[in-house]
Structure 1
Amino acid sequence: MQISEHDLADARQSWGDGLIKISQIFESSGIDEAKSFASSLTDNLYGFDFGPILFKPTLSGGAQTFRHDKEGTLSYFVGQNPKYPKDTGFGLK
């Protein structure tokens, strides 16, 4: 699979637009709707279908610095997961 500069630019734009939309949905419709949108967004952007991922959230540290699956990635963006108690929802800010 070849990835072009255009593909990278599109992915960065989708990520940024999606992050803003998570916050907007959270403010207008609450956590459940924000979590649903974030779930779809991460499915589209992180390639969970291909196997484990290596995601390093900006504001994470310690034993949970890296995330390898959808659950950990989604938790970073919307929080609400007792397995990741320090996640406050990067996408909700």
Structure 2
Amino acid sequence: MKKSLFILTAASMMVACTPGYAKTKPHAAAASIEQNVDCIAEKEVVAAQRAWGEGIVKIGKVYSDGGDYSAAAAAHIDQFYAYDLSLVLFKPTLASVEQFRTSFDSALSYFVGGNATYPEDKGFAIKPWTKVRWKNVGITNNACTMAVAMGNYWFTAADTGAETKVEYTFGYIRDPQGELKIVVHDSSVPYNGG
């Protein structure tokens, strides 16, 4: 009896902390928890990573072709980041003065440069790159509402074909339409021993 009461209480507490379930009765919530919680799956994270990398390559191609790369970068940020839903903790790879980009405009500046507020930005996405490949060390999703991936990704330069290795941590939430959006993005060049 005590064990089943504990399980029911734990399930009710977990559902009560899940958005959209505040008005659900505890016993009904516990009974339907598996049906109502749409956990973020590892394959969704991998697909989002692949699409993000393709988006970075696309921005660079638009730039190389003389197109509106700023608009391409803005569309990329709208598609992949949750600036319209949440605080986004973005620590770009090549930023040292303005290290953290918590606004849409600061992220756009990092990707394409040209913003006097961020003079260090040269436009990461307009280098340009031809490929981004990922290797996850792991993806965790303990609470169902946020998934976190960590690992290395490599950016292939269009001019030389050389790869640049970068360490990353990305945190994802689901938007109201069911799409994954980035709320944490931390990138850094590996420590070189110096």
Give the partner amino acid of 2:54.
D
For residues 60-83 of structure 1, the C-alpha deviation after alignment (integer angstroms, 9 at most, x for no partner) is 113x10110110111100001001
Divergent runs of 4+, >4 A: none
Larger mean Cα displacement after TM superposition, 45-54 or 76-85 = 45-54
Q: Tell me which residue corresponds to 2:120.
A: 86
Give 2:47's aligned residue: 10
1:6-31 deviation digits (Å, cap 9, x = unpaired): 1211111111101111111001024x
Following the alignment from structure 2 to structure 1, what is the Cα–Cα distance between the partners of residues 81 and 64?
Answer: 24
Q: Which runs of 5+ in 2 are unaligned?
A: 1-37, 128-194
Task: Look at both structures and tell me which one has the larger radius of gyration over its CA atoms.
Answer: 2
The Cα shift of 1:2 comes to 3.0
Say which SS state the counterpart of residue 40 (structure 1) adopts: helix
Q: Would you say 1:48 and 2:80 are equivalent positions?
A: no
Q: TM-score, normalised by structure 1?
A: 0.90
Normalized against structure 2, the TM-score is what? 0.45
Q: Partners of 2:40 and 2:66 in 1: how far apart?
A: 36
Q: Greater helix share, 1 or 2? A: 1
Unaligned stretches of 5+ residues in structure 1: none
C-alpha RMSD of matched pairs (Å): 1.2
Q: Hey, what's the Cα distance between the residues in 2 that align with 1:71 and 1:5?
A: 30
Structure with greater contact order relative to length (CA < 8 Å, sep ≥ 6): 1
Tell me what 1:20 maps to.
57
